[in-house]
Amino acid sequence: MKIKIIALGKIKEKFLKAGIDEFLKRLTPYASVEIIELTPIEIKDENLTERVLDEEGEKILAQIKPQSYVITLEIEGKMLSSEDFAEKIQELTNDGVSEIVFVIGSSCGISKTVSKRANFKLSMSKMTFLHQFARLILVEQIYRAFKIIKGETYHK
């Protein structure tokens, strides 16, 4: 399974980078994981937010292959337990999906075009997280999902 995480912005805090790197290392026996960091566009005028999201959306969509299964992280998406998330990944594998692409938007969200391209919209919580925290949580949950799928122990 190939997993691609497209995220706007870089990880600046060392402790978050260390956590992400640790889970990426742990994931190597289960999947090939690639993180693509795109530069967010600074919004200088709130009236231009939608146009900026559209520009960011074009950059995101350029990184996605037509056959990729796309999961966007959206507040209005569906919340899953860790077990349900693992089941979702297992179903995709069983269905022959070779690449899952996760999209983490900027602080203003994601464009409507990216949201429409999504095969599944995932919500981590009703709470809003910094995109940097969302990335750490996502890679940990992907790791946890593979541990669940393989029936291996991992703390609960």
Helix (H, G, I), strand (E, B) or coil at 33: strand
Residue 154 is predicted with a pLDDT of 79
Domain extents for the chain?
A: 2-150
Helix 131-150 to helix 82-94 angle (10° resolution) is 70
Q: What is the mean pLDDT of residues 12-39?
A: 96
Q: What is the mean pLDDT of residues 124-135?
A: 88
How confident is residue 43, by pLDDT bands cut at 50, 70 and 90? confident
At residue 44, φ and ψ (nearest 5 deg) are -95, -15
Write the pLDDT tens digit of every residue in 61-87: 999 999 999 999 998 999 999 999 999
Residues 95-104, buried b or exposed e (16+ Cβ, 10 A)? eebebbbbbb
Q: Which of 25-29, 123-127, 128-132, 145-149 has the lowest mean pLDDT?
A: 128-132
Q: What is the mean pLDDT of residues 131-141?
A: 94
Tell me what the pLDDT averaged over the chain comes to.
Answer: 93
- The CATH superfamily assigned to 2-150 is SPOUT methyltransferase, trefoil knot domain (3.40.1280.10)
